[in-house]
Amino acid sequence: MAETERARSGGMKWLTELVNEWRAAGQRIGIVPTMGALHQGHLSLVQAARAECERVVATVFVNPTQFAPTEDLAKYPRTLVADLEMLAAERVDAVLVPTEDEMYPPGFSTYVQPPEVSQKWEGAVRPSHFRGVATVVLKLLNMTRADVCYLGQKDYQQVAVVRRMVADLNVPCEIKMCPTVRDPDGLAMSSRNRYLSKDERQIGLSLSRTLFAAEKQIRSGAKNGPELSSWMREQLIASGVSQVDYAFAADADTLEPLTEVRLPLVLLMAARVGTTRLLDNLVVRQG
Amino acid sequence: MAETERARSGGMKWLTELVNEWRAAGQRIGIVPTMGALHQGHLSLVQAARAECERVVATVFVNPTQFAPTEDLAKYPRTLVADLEMLAAERVDAVLVPTEDEMYPPGFSTYVQPPEVSQKWEGAVRPSHFRGVATVVLKLLNMTRADVCYLGQKDYQQVAVVRRMVADLNVPCEIKMCPTVRDPDGLAMSSRNRYLSKDERQIGLSLSRTLFAAEKQIRSGAKNGPELSSWMREQLIASGVSQVDYAFAADADTLEPLTEVRLPLVLLMAARVGTTRLLDNLVVRQG
């Protein structure tokens, strides 16, 4: 892990040299972009990359441009020492931990204006969020010249935004979506779960429980999209969530709400438990 | 030129394969992005690329997203057969002539929000112009995976916008600005010059004449930026241009107008002669 060690001191120049070496040798590069506070969900992405690519780069950067001024940038969990240990154990080839100034030097002023699929749901609740996500992901893909980028299904709309951006801008990188990893109780893993009190966590379980119950209803023949949506919302509220931002069945590609249930679809939801926002989703496929 | 021939039929997939071959062989790729209607200015860019890169790709695409609805997209000169002959004579390795649909397929909706230097001058006169330029250039750089991109100084602000975009988004490509090529009478070469009547062309000569005269004044000790600016504007109007969009001495990097003349600087101007907009500029360096 000498290279991982170097990442912390050498910064971005070091990475460029390493990447140029790898490319010259014809090696396939996978990237796992993260904001740190790593959990098994992130590690599953690293493992997928490790299985498919000769070189794996993880990045750890709490990206300020994807947080609104009212959001939790300052208190977002930072656990760099533990993160680096976990990444070393997964045998990544390099970890890039850029500073804010390296990513956004004085005079920085170019952004990605993200695709239309960024406008709704998370984009409506968090207006400049996906602009920040699209911009930082494009920067990281360019910096690492990655062939494949691994993203978690937990942030389903994020994957849709990045996919469309990469297609629209002809970025020579493949986007792979890896399954959401859940705790044994069903809660989708998230760095923000550590904000939850014990009681809040119990309430938070209503998201996955409602998703799996809704899937059962669909398998049993439920056809009406808005009815399913109302039912999911009621389940969440009955379980004690503070606010439901959205909960509905959507077309798996466009993320438009479905009037009539047809597969494949994605059940998308976001709800607040206390002051913590939780996201979850479930793709329902034929058969 | 078998490859150039293939470019016209095979479209973008063909280019990707070719570029992958070249990269695997460790060859340096230069790109010359154009809107066609080629003249000696474009060819000087191809020649610079040919001298420095093992592979040279030219692109010919009249990019609709950089034209406002009121502008000359429909009547922009298209001379593809002549263009391909000229490029063949310069021994380019490939010419990409994408269709609008290949560049902007249905659902396309991601753009580059260009850097701050895009806001003023050309950006003020043509509000969405640089968004279109930055977006198409990024797409072309990604499609060709070019190591070096050659742009003409004639569009000085465009070069500044692309440079800043490439730096801000960490695009692994070097931007080279090549000198403006002029006709023997001093007129900066431009595809739009063919719109000019004989009389209008005579009026158009006032741009370069005023630039060179302003340089002389600076060399003789002129210090006052606004005075120089007024003088340039008066010269242009006295020569019969229909409208001066701007004419002033600017910082060579930021393009901010200079109150006090200091070198290096750039003299920037845009003026209308009849219905044709002409641009010109001159960099004035120490010594």
Kindly state the tokens that stand for A46. 């690293």
**Residues from chain A contacting residue B26 (CB–CB below 8 Å):** 24
C-alpha A100/C-alpha B57 separation (Å) is 36
**A52 assigned to some structural domain:** yes
Q: Do A110 and B164 touch (CB under 8 A)?
A: yes
B20-71, pLDDT tens digit by residue? 999 999 999 999 999 999 999 999 999 999 999 999 999 999 999 999 999 9
pLDDT at B1: 42
As a whole number, the mean pLDDT across chain A is 95
Distance from CA of B172 to the nearest CA of A (A): 7
Burial track B243-258 (b if 16+ CB lie within 10 A, e otherwise): ebbbbbbbebeebebb
**A101 assigned to some structural domain:** yes
Q: What is the mean pLDDT of residues A155-162?
A: 98
Residues A173 and A149 in one domain: yes
The DSSP H or E segment spanning A261 is: none
Boundary (domain end) residue, out of B119, B146, B178: B178
Residue B241 has phi, psi (to 5 degrees) of -70, 150
Residues A148 and A195 in one domain: no
Residues B146 and B38 in one domain: yes
pLDDT at A20: 92
Minimal Cβ distance to B110: which of A26, A164, A172? A164
**A184 assigned to some structural domain:** no
**Residues from chain A contacting residue B255 (CB–CB below 8 Å):** none
C-alpha B144: how far from chain center: 19
Alpha-carbon distance values, B149 to A102, B49, B59, B172 (Å): 24, 8, 11, 11
Residues A69 and A167 in one domain: yes
Distance from CA of A114 to the nearest CA of B (A): 5
**B184 assigned to some structural domain:** no
Q: Could you tell me which chain B residue has the CA closest to the CA of A110?
A: B115
C-alpha A32/C-alpha A95 separation (Å) is 9
Residues A13 and A96 in one domain: yes
DSSP string, B187-229: PBP-GGGGG--HHHHHHHHHHHHHHHHHHHHHHTT--BHHHHH
The CA-to-CA distance between both ends of chain A, in Å, stands at: 44
Q: Do B110 and A24 touch (CB under 8 A)?
A: no
pLDDT at B2: 43
Burial group, residue B105, by CB count within 10 angstroms (0-12, 13-18, 19+): exposed
C-alpha A139/C-alpha A155 separation (Å) is 19
Q: Do A142 and B170 touch (CB under 8 A)?
A: yes
* B229 within 8 A of B241, measured Cβ to Cβ: no
Residues A211 and A263 in one domain: yes
Residues B243 and B173 in one domain: no
Boundary (domain end) residue, out of A127, A154, A178: A178
A196-217, pLDDT tens digit by residue? 999 999 999 999 999 999 999 9
Residues B80 and B105 in one domain: yes
**Residues from chain B contacting residue A111 (CB–CB below 8 Å):** 112-113
Residues B114 and B43 in one domain: yes
Q: Could you tell me which chain A residue has the CA closest to the CA of B162?
A: A110
**A185 assigned to some structural domain:** no
pLDDT at A5: 47
Q: What is the ipTM of this complex?
A: 0.95
**B186 assigned to some structural domain:** no
Catalytic center residues of A: 42
Distance from CA of A135 to the nearest CA of B (A): 7
DSSP symbol at B105: -
Q: What is the mean pLDDT of residues A149-170?
A: 98
Structural domain range at position B203:
191-284
CATH of the domain at A267: 3.30.1300.10
A102-123, pLDDT tens digit by residue? 999 999 999 999 999 999 999 9
The pTM score is 0.95
pLDDT at B8: 52
**Residues from chain B contacting residue A135 (CB–CB below 8 Å):** 169
Asked if the peptide bond before residue A105 counts as cis, ω within 30 degrees of 0, the response is no
Task: List the B55-60 sheet strands across, edge first.
Answer: B94-96, B55-60, B29-34, B148-152, B174-178
pLDDT at A11: 61
pLDDT at A12: 72
* Helical spans, DSSP H, in B35-128: 40-52, 80-89, 100-103, 122-125
Q: Do B110 and A26 touch (CB under 8 A)?
A: no
**Residues from chain B contacting residue A168 (CB–CB below 8 Å):** 108-110, 139
Q: What is the mean pLDDT of residues A17-37?
A: 95
Residue A281 has phi, psi (to 5 degrees) of -160, 165
Kindly state the tokens that stand for A159. 């994957």
- The count of structural domains within chain A is 2
**B74 assigned to some structural domain:** yes
**B271 Cβ contact list (under 8 Å, min separation 6):** B206, B207, B236, B241, B242, B243, B244, B245, B247, B277, B278
Asked if the peptide bond before residue B264 counts as cis, ω within 30 degrees of 0, the response is yes
Q: Could you tell me which chain B residue has the CA closest to the CA of A106?
A: B168
Residues A201 and A139 in one domain: no
Minimal Cβ distance to A110: which of B114, B142, B172? B114
pLDDT at B86: 98
Return the C-alpha torsion angle B27, B32, B38, B41, nearest 10: -100
Q: Do B170 and A139 touch (CB under 8 A)?
A: yes
Q: Output the furthest CA–CA distance in chain B (Å, rounded).
A: 58
Residues of B with CB under 8 A from a CB of A: 16, 23-24, 26, 107-117, 131, 134-135, 138-139, 142-143, 145, 164-165, 168-172
The DSSP H or E segment spanning B104 is: none
C-alpha A279/C-alpha A153 separation (Å) is 11
pLDDT at A287: 79
A118-127, pLDDT tens digit by residue? 999 999 999 9
Boundary (domain end) residue, out of A155, A178, A201: A178
Interface test with B, best of A135, A168, A171, A256 (most B CBs within 10 A): A168
Q: What percent of chain A has pLDDT over 70?
A: 96
C-alpha A32/C-alpha A116 separation (Å) is 24
CATH of the domain at A8: 3.40.50.620
**Residues from chain A contacting residue B168 (CB–CB below 8 Å):** 108-110, 139
**Residues from chain B contacting residue A21 (CB–CB below 8 Å):** none
* Helical spans, DSSP H, in chain A: 2-24, 40-52, 80-89, 100-103, 122-125, 129-144, 156-168, 198-219, 225-238
C-alpha A27/C-alpha A215 separation (Å) is 41
pLDDT at A7: 53
A86-96, pLDDT tens digit by residue? 999 999 999 99
**B86 assigned to some structural domain:** yes
Residues B156 and B267 in one domain: no
Instruction: Work out the pLDDT band at A137, boundaries 50, 70, 90.
Output: very high
pLDDT in tens, chain B (287 residues): 444 544 554 567 789 999 999 999 999 999 999 999 999 999 999 999 999 999 999 999 999 999 999 998 999 999 999 999 999 999 999 999 999 999 999 999 999 999 999 999 999 999 999 999 999 999 999 999 999 999 999 999 999 999 999 999 999 999 999 999 999 999 999 999 999 999 999 999 999 999 999 999 999 999 999 999 999 999 999 999 999 999 999 999 999 999 999 999 999 999 999 999 999 999 999 97
Minimal Cβ distance to B142: which of A26, A113, A171? A171
Q: Is the pLDDT of residue A260 over 90?
A: yes
C-alpha B25/C-alpha B1 separation (Å) is 20
pLDDT at A8: 52
Catalytic center residues of B: 42
pLDDT at A1: 42
Q: What number of C-beta contacts closer than 8 Å exist between A and B?
A: 73
Distance from CA of A171 to the nearest CA of B (A): 5
Q: Could you tell me which chain B residue has the CA closest to the CA of A107?
A: B116
C-alpha B29/C-alpha B149 separation (Å) is 9
Q: Do B171 and A142 touch (CB under 8 A)?
A: yes
Residues B210 and B77 in one domain: no
pLDDT at B282: 98
Distance from CA of A235 to the nearest CA of B (A): 35
User: What single-letter amino acid sits at A19?
Assistant: V
